[in-house]
Amino acid sequence: MVYDEYFIEIFRDDFRLGSGVRLTRDFALTAAHCLELNELEGRAAVRLCLPDGKQAMGEVQEYDDLSDLALLRLIFHKDEDVQLPGVCFDEAREGELWQATHQLPDTGNDLRGSVAEVASPYRSTQDGARVCALRLDCYRVPDDYGRFAGSPVERGDPYRPPVVLGLIVKLRPGAGPDPKTVYAGTVREAVRRFGRFRIEDLDREPYPLSVSPYRLESTESVDDMRSRAAAREALDRAGYSSVVRLPWKRR
């Protein structure tokens, strides 16, 4: 098993955009603000690097401005042997320790701290739609905090199997600068927003510090995904992809 095998890094050509967390074999979650509009709308793919050295292309399937979450579909080479990521998700507790999976190389700048609030108001709309996020206190926020965008947030216990609590999103709009606060979107919020997954509860025994450990399963069959991919390739060859491709955007 590769440590943190659920962790991905996202690139546009050779420029690093941010990080993300694999939800299933074929889907990953990242922070929407890492990507440009043509990428969010599915008109341009990004390059994904996995911890085991594999690479894939990623196409946004849906994105949500309110929560700053974007859902990526991973596109591997045909017949490539790709394993399911070993990942467990869980609810956070107020006061428990956390750490960002992504670390800046050769700097010693890591991002860690304690959970301040598990359902902090994050954004809302005039018609009453509301999103909550994890509000995280930081011991120290590096000057290049933006490089942590989309990083998974793990429970901060180095002696236990890693458990993902959420992923780092942009600072709450209008909140003003706070040098010791960051926000993380939760995986359950992504399940509610995107509606493509079912939650499978896990046994707590391997995760003794857990609240309610779970993993995700896609509600789409492999045949459904293959049919959609074949249709997309046909549209690309015919030159109609920019006309027909309509990704979901939640408001």
Mean pLDDT, the chain, integer:
85
Domain definitions of the chain by residue range? 7-85+217-250, 97-216
- Which pLDDT band holds residue 110 (cuts at 50, 70, 90)? confident
The pLDDT value given to residue 220: 73
The pLDDT value given to residue 108: 62
pTM of the model: 0.84
Mean pLDDT for the stretch of residues 21-29: 94
CATH architecture for residues 97-216: Beta Barrel (2.40)
Amino acid, res. 19: S
Instruction: Quick: pLDDT tens for 235-247.
Output: 666 766 544 444 5
Mean pLDDT for the stretch of residues 211-239: 71
Say whether 97-216 and 7-85+217-250 share the same fold.
yes
Question: Phi and psi of 182, rounded to 5°?
Answer: -130, 165
Strand partners, 46: 58
Amino acid, res. 208: P
Tokens of 148: 């942590």
Helix, strand, or coil (residue 242)? helix
Instruction: Quick: pLDDT tens for 69-88.
Output: 999 999 988 877 877 778 89
C-alpha 113/C-alpha 180 separation (Å) is: 9
The pLDDT value given to residue 84: 75
Question: Phi and psi of 145, rounded to 5°?
Answer: -55, -35
- The per-type count for the chain, helices as H runs and strands as E runs, is 4, 15
- The secondary structure of 18-83 as a DSSP string is EEEEE-SSSEEEEEGGGS-HHHHTTSS-EEEE-TTS-EEEEEEEEEETTTTEEEEEEEPPTT---P
Mean pLDDT for the stretch of residues 97-101: 93
CA 236-238-240 angle, 5° bins: 65
Instruction: Quick: pLDDT tens for 165-202.
Output: 999 999 887 766 566 889 999 999 999 999 899 999 99
Identify the residue whose tokens are 């299933």. 24
- Which pLDDT band holds residue 2 (cuts at 50, 70, 90)? very low
Homologous superfamily in CATH for domain 7-85+217-250:
Trypsin-like serine proteases (2.40.10.10)
- The secondary structure of 192-209 as a DSSP string is HHH--EEEEE--STT-TT
End-to-end CA distance of the chain: 38
Per residue, what are the HEC states of 133-178? EEEEEECCCCCCHHHHCCCEEEECCCCCCCCEEEEEECCCCCCCCC
Q: What percent of the chain has pLDDT over 70?
A: 81
